[in-house]
Amino acid sequence: MRQILKLICGITVLSATISLKGVAQDLHFSQYFNAPLLVNPANTGFSPDGDYRLGVNYRNQWATVSNPYKTFSAFGDVQLFGDRFENGWVGVGGALLRDVAGTGNLTSTKGFGSIAYHQALGLGSLLSAGFNVGFVNKKVDFNKLTFDNQWNGKFFDISAPTGEPFVANQVNYTTLQAGINYALFPTEDIYLNVGLSVSNINSPKENFFDDGSADVTVPTRYTIFLNGSFRTSDAWIVNPNVYISKVSTATEVVGGVNAQRDLSGDGNTQLILGAYYRLNDAVIPMVGFQQNGYKLTFSYDATTSTLGQYNNNRGGYELSIIKQGIFDNSRGLKCPAVRF
């Protein structure tokens, strides 16, 4: 039974990431709002509380099911030329992402640079557009996987040929992503934002097999983000948001709310509480703390799907650390937001 389960896990990892149809899952986080450049390149330089922003994200998923998925990212962006454009500025940034998953140590590494332009439209709205260029490397250790041709009736003989037409254990390609954001702030207590991004628009190829064995085009991914901020009192700001992503036949929907509690009277120190739900998958409670421009946030995915019977409803935990700062305190912040 253990050998059969190992075979199933190995095949599942391969089919989910390097299948003959070429469907590939981009790296993602439950705290999508704390990975802004990954969600939409138009978020580059869209940092409400500073001229620059630095962040790291770490996710450990399904630790109770054999080999867990481990995802890490680091990003940074900065606002430029705010003094050269009337009510506008340029954002420049970049990010690194790395994910290791499954028995075969399928490793995905991506690095990209992004640029965006932000322009105020009158006194109550802002339009942003951006794009990024990324380089992707994916590799897998086939020696750690077993295949149906290696089953001799009693056990898997790893010395036997796999029977699979592999030509390489890694692939490299370039990917392009573009996006737009529209923000509306009718009052100082209300802020609304909607964004759309499209990735893999250059139709890159991803294939570990012989050329021509299948359609290996990485499918286009569409992502929509809806966000709102409402100051309900002098001490509370409530932020509902929804994230929807679709690639090929797979759709991910995450929605919920987080709230900021002012602990210092000037917004410098805040407690963050929240709860989210990934449709048909997990409930995600969240807690965080912010002080002096640093924000630390922790969340946990509690599995609600049928996978819970295999992982004891223990999905995965996630940690993010973000730093925002100002180069010149004498200049006012251009990026709209609801603030304490």
DSSP state of 193: E
- What pTM was computed for the model? 0.84
Topology (CATH level 3) of domain 2-325: Porin (2.40.160)
pLDDT of residue 211: 61
pLDDT digits (tens, 9 = 90+) for 125-135: 999 999 999 99
Residues 272-286 have a mean pLDDT of: 96
Instruction: Give dist(CA 255, CA 277) in Å, integer.
Output: 6
Instruction: Give dist(CA 224, CA 196) in Å, integer.
Output: 5
Q: Name the band, by pLDDT with cuts 50, 70 and 90, for residue 305.
A: confident
Q: Name the band, by pLDDT with cuts 50, 70 and 90, for residue 21.
A: very low
Q: Name the band, by pLDDT with cuts 50, 70 and 90, for residue 5.
A: very low
Tokens at 73, concatenated: 């990212």
Higher pLDDT residue, 154 or 184? 184
pLDDT of residue 6: 38
Residue type, 204: P
Instruction: Give dist(CA 284, CA 315) in Å, integer.
Output: 9
- Asked if the model's pLDDT at residue 16 lies above 60, the reply is no
Lowest-pLDDT range of 27-31, 173-177, 228-232, 329-333? 329-333
Please say whether the dihedral angle defined by the alpha carbons of residues 83, 84, 87 and 90, taken in this order, is positive or negative.
negative
Tokens at 317, concatenated: 């935990």
128 touches 42 (CB < 8 A): yes
Query: Strand, helix or coil at 2?
Result: helix
45 touches 180 (CB < 8 A): no
- Asked if the model's pLDDT at residue 15 lies above 70, the reply is no
